[in-house]
């Protein structure tokens, strides 16, 4: 193994300029990606953005049209799946329904001609890990969805692959079980130390489990990093709206001083953005300034603004009590509607609809992105502003 990260972990998966063209449209478009040993890495993106196609090429079920795929430094671009040190858990668990749990998990090991004792030892310890220790004799068809999911996971992990590919493995589970399984899966992954490449369109799922994630759109990666980095400093408008909720205000960069850029909004008010969070602009000054709803404090009009904060005046249109807090929709002077989440810490008198307010938030929680150019085939469900 060659390349090392800053944290000195070997690269397990490396995609170099990988493109896959079906008919005439690229499903995966010149993708470059490195995944490190022991990482829980997620590919996140809307339906049709190329997640499954990417995963299938890493697994060897699909050949790229161009580019290279390396596993552990070895070029495997055209190697058959069974010659790769990789296991896959698909969306449908594909257990053998007539076999019991033990035989399902032991299946791959028996083909490797391990001794009976060794097979029993490894299956036993894997069933402990997935928390199904007394289920050996149960038929797969007599298990709940979550239990089947864990058996499928045990069956893949028992082979101790270098890399495990998982394609929306929880989509058949209900919301509550999904959340349980997310925590379970993260625990299992850190316990066994195998690199996970996980595909999902569920942003909460990706953020909960991943060490790093990549947000894909139209076959390309638009943002990559730790969930916190990608959430706090989204690189594009698409990432800002796909991963969590963002307030985005159109404006143009009109100046800078020290480490801050200033952006003037349509109504003439200005906001400060840390320079490192302003994208490189080519031949334009147009940007959208972003702030997450939970970063904003809402106060009665006239409240003084602390140093180091941005401020915008507005009027509350809707105020909703959600138990854990209040959610507000505020018409700002700049013409954009902002969403604000305020945590219920049992103190404030909540502003009501019609109240004039001032919204403030720390400059450090402000980012800017290049306004999105939408492709014609993209749905316009998030468009209303």
Ligand X SMILES: Nc1ncnc2c1ncn2[C@@H]1O[C@H](COP(=O)(O)OP(=O)(O)OP(=O)(O)O)[C@@H](O)[C@H]1O
Tell me the closest approach of the beta carbon of residue 202 to Mg ion, in angstroms.
12
Of 20 and 365, nearer to ligand X (C-beta) is: 20
Using the structure block, give the residue that is written with the tokens 């190329």. 50
Residue numbers 49-108 binding Mg ion by CB under 5 A: 52
Of 109 and 209, nearer to Mg ion (C-beta) is: 209
With CB atoms as reference, the residue minimizing the distance to Mg ion is 52
Specify the 3-state DSSP secondary structure of 367: strand
Using the structure block, give the residue that is written with the tokens 């602009």. 281
Give the interface segment with ligand X, choosing from 47-55, 68-76, 185-193, 269-277 (CB under 6 A). Answer: 47-55
Of 52 and 148, nearer to Mg ion (C-beta) is: 52
Residue numbers 185-224 binding ligand X by CB under 6 A: 201
How many residues bind Mg ion (CB under 5 A)? The answer is: 1
200 binds Mg ion, rule: CB under 5 A: no
Integer angstrom CA distances of residue 287 from 249, 280, 371: 8, 10, 6
In contact, 368 and 290? CB cutoff 8 Å: yes
The span from the CA of 341 to the CA of 351, in Å, is 12
Contact with ligand X (CB under 6 A) among 33, 40, 53, 277: 53
Which one of ligand X, Mg ion, none is in contact with 50 (Cβ closer than 5 to 8 A by kind)? ligand X
Query: Roughly what angle, to the nearest 10 degrees, separates helices 101-111 and 116-129?
Result: 130
In contact, 157 and 188? CB cutoff 8 Å: yes
The span from the CA of 38 to the CA of 12, in Å, is 9
Give the interface segment with ligand X, choosing from 45-53, 131-139, 285-293, 357-365 (CB under 6 A). Answer: 45-53
Where is 354: in which H helix or E strand? none
42 binds Mg ion, rule: CB under 5 A: no
The span from the CA of 206 to the CA of 224, in Å, is 12
In contact, 10 and 72? CB cutoff 8 Å: yes
Which one of Mg ion, ligand X, none is in contact with 247 (Cβ closer than 5 to 8 A by kind)? none
How many residues bind ligand X (CB under 6 A)? The answer is: 12
Quote the strand ranges of 154-285, DSSP E.
163-167, 195-200, 212-217, 220-225, 247-257, 260-265, 270-274
Of 65 and 269, nearer to ligand X (C-beta) is: 65
Give the interface segment with ligand X, choosing from 49-57, 94-102, 266-274, 284-292 (CB under 6 A). Answer: 49-57
In contact, 262 and 254? CB cutoff 8 Å: yes
Specify the 3-state DSSP secondary structure of 46: coil
Contact with ligand X (CB under 6 A) among 11, 15, 35, 49: 49
Of 49 and 170, nearer to ligand X (C-beta) is: 49
Of 45 and 72, nearer to Mg ion (C-beta) is: 45
In contact, 207 and 179? CB cutoff 8 Å: no
- The residues binding ligand X (CB under 6 A) are 22-23, 27, 45, 47-53, 201
């Amino acid at each position: 193994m060659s390349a090392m990260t800053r944290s000195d972990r070997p690269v397990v998966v490396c995609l170099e300029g990988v493109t896959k063209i079906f008919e005439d449209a690229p499903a995966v478009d010149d993708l470059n990606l490195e995944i490190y040993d022991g990482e829980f890495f997620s590919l996140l993106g809307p339906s049709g953005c190329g997640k499954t196609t990417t995963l299938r090429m890493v697994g060897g079920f699909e050949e790229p049209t161009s580019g290279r795929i390396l596993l552990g430094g070895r070029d495997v671009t055209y190697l058959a799946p069974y010659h790769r040190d990789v296991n896959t858990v698909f969306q449908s668990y594909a257990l053998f329904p007539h076999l019991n749990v033990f035989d399902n998990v032991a299946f791959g090991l028996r083909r490797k001609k391990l001794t009976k004792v060794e097979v029993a030892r490894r299956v036993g310890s894997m069933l402990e890990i997935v928390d199904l220790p007394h289920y050996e004799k149960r038929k797969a068809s007599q298990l709940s969805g979550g239990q089947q999911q864990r058996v499928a996971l045990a069956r893949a992990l028992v082979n101790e692959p270098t890399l495990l590919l998982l394609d929306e493995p929880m989509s058949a589970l209900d919301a509550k079980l999904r959340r349980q399984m997310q925590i379970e899966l993260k625990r299992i992954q850190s316990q066994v130390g195998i690199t996970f490449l996980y595909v999902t369109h569920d942003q909460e799922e990706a953020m909960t489990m991943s060490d790093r994630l990549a947000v894909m759109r139209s076959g390309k990666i638009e943002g990559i990093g730790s969930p916190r980095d990608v959430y706090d400093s989204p690189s594009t408008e698409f990432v800002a709206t796909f991963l969590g909720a963002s307030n985005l205000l159109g404006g143009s960069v009109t100046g800078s001083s020290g480490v801050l850029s200033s952006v003037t909004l349509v109504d003439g008010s200005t906001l400060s953005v840390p320079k490192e969070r302003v994208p490189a602009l080519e031949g334009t000054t147009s940007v959208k300034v972003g702030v997450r709803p939970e970063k904003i404090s809402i106060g009665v009009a006239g409240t003084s603004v602390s140093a180091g904060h941005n401020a915008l005046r507005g009027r509350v249109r809707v105020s909703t009590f959600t138990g854990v807090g209040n959610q507000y929709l505020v018409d700002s002077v700049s013409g954009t509607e902002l969403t604000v989440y305020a945590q219920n810490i049992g103190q404030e008198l909540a502003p009501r609809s019609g109240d004039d307010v001032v919204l403030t938030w720390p400059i450090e929680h402000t980012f800017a992105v290049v306004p999105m150019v939408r492709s014609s085939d993209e749905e316009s469900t998030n468009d209303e502003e």
